[in-house]
Amino acid sequence: MPRAFAVSDLHGCKSLYDQINAFIEPDDIVYFLGDANDRGPNPWELVKLIRANPQWIYIKGNHEQLLESWIESKCDDDVDAWRLERNGGGYTMTHFLAENYGKEFTDDWLEFFFNLPTSAVYESAKGTIFMSHSGYIDRHPYVKRDYKTRNLLWCREHFNFPWDDQYDYVVHGHTPIP
């Protein structure tokens, strides 16, 4: 039976991706719970590797949402650029533009980021597992619309899922836990 793993927040560390791939078996599945595209030494390369690897299921994180917003603005919105760069995305912005200069920005990459799921469910022998990038609380005070999706990308609260009775386990990244 294939195994399933969840990993989050690689933030450009291709070496960690390589270590995971060296560990897993050909039938295993890795749920990547978001945040690949900034900070570390190889963020843009990491995004492309995860996207291309059929063993990896890419779940959107808040940093993918930042990149998506910048691409959606045709890489021309100063606020989106500032947010992305402030969060370590300068390298990704430079390399994205180098590879896509002169191409239509609403093409493949925008569609890819826009269509990334914000959660996944895995049926294991030990129960049903819900996975997302971040925690979730109902009626988060800073979220006025689309609170479910926004919470699954940005929330730093934990384990207050209104659908708890549907799942045996909840797995997410985003917030370091001591």
pLDDT band at 158 (very low <50, low <70, confident <90, very high): low
* Mean pLDDT, rounded, for 19-38: 97
Contacts of 173 by beta carbon, 8 Å cutoff, 6+ apart: 7, 8, 9, 33, 34, 35, 61, 133, 134
Token duo for residue 106: 């609403």
Residue 104 has pLDDT above 70, yes or no: no
Note the pTM of the prediction, 2 decimals.
0.88
Average confidence (pLDDT) over 143-163: 62
Half-sphere exposure of 7 (CA within 13 A, CB side): 19
| pLDDT band, very low/low/confident/very high, at 140 (cuts 50, 70, 90) | very low
Q: What distance in Å separates the CA atoms of residue 141 and residue 154, rounded to the nearest whole number?
A: 12
Instruction: Check pLDDT > 90 for residue 3.
Output: yes
Q: Is the pLDDT of residue 176 over 80?
A: no
Parallel, antiparallel or unpaired: strands 119-124 and 127-132: antiparallel
The model's confidence at residue 6, banded by pLDDT at 50, 70 and 90, is: very high
On the question of pLDDT at 107 being above 80, the answer is: no
| Nearest Cα to Cα of residue 68 among 30, 33, 111 | 111
28, 115, 164 from 22: Cα distances, Å: 12, 28, 34
Contact yes or no for 122/131 (Cβ under 8 A): yes
Q: How confident is the model at residue 136 (pLDDT cuts 50, 70, 90)?
A: low
Q: How confident is the model over 37-92, as pLDDT tens digits?
A: 999 999 999 999 999 999 999 999 999 999 988 888 877 778 888 889 998 888 89
Least confident of 6-15, 78-87, 136-145, 149-158: 136-145
Contact 66, 89 (CB under 8 A): yes
